[in-house]
Amino acid sequence: GVSKDSLAKLRKFAQRDHLTFPLLSDPDLTVHKLYGAYGEKKLYGKVHVGVIRSTLVINPDGSVAIARYNVRAKGHVDSLLKALEKLEKLEK
């Protein structure tokens, strides 16, 4: 996971929620901008600039295999797992 939060805040979050994967701090938003996860978004009908909640699956060669933007929690994990299974079948 990549967040604009500080390392200290991410460590606390990871410990509290018992995360088993690394979290990366990107306070200057360099990575967010490179992957299109920062920019204009609508919130309650108004346009704001900020972090766009996104999920990207990155291949070992650095290419993007799956990119989903403006994701919502409900149903996202199941949908992503299905997409990963489909991707895995294509690679075989």
The model's pLDDT over 25-34, given as tens digits with 9 standing for 90+, comes to 999 999 999 9
Same domain, 18 and 62: no
Same domain, 45 and 62: no
- Buried b / exposed e over 11-48, threshold 16 CB at 10 Å, is eeeeeeeeeeeeeebbeeeeebeebebbeeeeeeeeee
What is the pTM for the complete model shown? 0.78
Tens-of-pLDDT digits for all 92 residues of the chain?
899 999 999 999 999 999 999 999 999 999 999 999 999 998 899 999 999 999 999 988 989 999 999 998 899 999 999 999 998 888 77
Same domain, 3 and 44: yes
Residue 8 and residue 20: Cα distance in Å, rounded?
17
Residue 68 and residue 46: Cα distance in Å, rounded?
21
Residues spanned by the domain of 8 = 1-52
The model's pLDDT over 13-23, given as tens digits with 9 standing for 90+, comes to 999 999 999 99
